[in-house]
Structure 1
């Protein structure tokens, strides 16, 4: 009897510990979705006529579209275990170049956009080569490349490019071709679906996840790790270039540093996404959830007339929370 009583007494703290771990793992997986739903409920209850309107819903999607595109590219680099701090600089630089090609060089719209996207992918691939072949730390190399792009951009044009841009170029971001949805939203959907399929349904996507999961095991299994990482960086550069192109179309001008702020937004979204559904893993679906949290939060602050300086406070707080939740998910996934 005494032995049974002792065993029962030991089982109590074990059960409590098990329930605590289960609750924390559940929170780390679904906390972001719950948080998003709570934000929607709160804003809907306090501003139903504004927040729940179709116009505001489209406004949220429009605000989220560019962040989602650049963040989805960043997701690829994080999947393979690297960082890319140049994406904001790339977006700003390419946004300046794409307008300059039309205004200064007289390129047609389609050729300017193709050159801009290829330039972004090339910059990303260059980042990948620096990291994999030259063995420079990703944080240092991408930050250095981004800083260089700022200087090159000023050399190309020290003033914003606002004249000589065809009206058809601005119509790309301002137009609505399908179901009344803004074109950037349609492009966002296409990009997210394409990157999700590549990451989850193709051989290269499986290799990317293998590289991020265990680098040495991936190398020993015959995976060309360097090529996979270069592909991830090139994808991040391409998505950053697409974001910069759409932003210039939206603004009707090419302005250096216009997209620099997307760096923090992208990291906040991706790390929020890593704490969604999966155990601290970076994935496209989670990134979309993270982007929506940011967009809904910014939209709600705007509706309630919060001062503009609240946005960086909210953004920074979300990033800290996202990294904390991601770390919690990884810790308890490893100990489970």
Structure 2
């Protein structure tokens, strides 16, 4: 908000009373086409920067959160980088990719307090004698009954009954209720098997950001277990993104699986047919690659660092 107010101020001034003629920038906005003022923020900021003398590198990108936001970003990025390199006088084809830098440190613990191990809890432990105040960050386990309504159909519809008596929560007719889901156990076991973690699912681990200045020190409540991370904290059942597949290329077990991973991450149509349209999760794509190479699934992608999985997959969100 401060940046917006500063930039839009008609009397805005900069050091040495100069304009922004020495500023080059790339611009990608986040919006939603269901709203009236789609990507209005980035459009106005882009126009204002140009009016102040700045030069945009490449086209302005606009992502639609109601559609394929990641695809919008990847399509913009593919066009932007060549122009970015040209603006800097850098040969994109000569650039070298350095070693990957881990974002999280993962440590398997041998000494820990079993009572302090998180096994699916969303919020932090309550302090001793602390009063529980429930919120989106500390949800209440209110479900009393959960049953499937369709027994003989491919459709799934759950009947849920919740009880919030004795809490600070208040429900009025018309309010939204968010339910925290749990990943399918088949998905949990499949991904663990492929990553070589099947025999370590209940090992207690500590995961924390390496960068001390990171906005979040812990990606989810810790200490916890591999099983809990897959079951409760990471969205392992979601359709795996092209960006995630690209990050796995260097860990492919064979040259053919490496080539297919590169094609899936670079070719939008191949990705749509083999992943998007059939809603394949990360585990299901890795399983497909193993089957293509006639490899046993156990540990076929064991070389993939666990911190890369944590960094690549989104947190499981309430529905």
| TM-score scaled by length of structure 2 | 0.25
Larger radius of gyration: 2
As a proportion of its length, which structure holds more strand? 2
Greater relative contact order (CA < 8 Å, ≥ 6 in sequence):
1
> TM-score, normalized by length of structure 1?
0.24
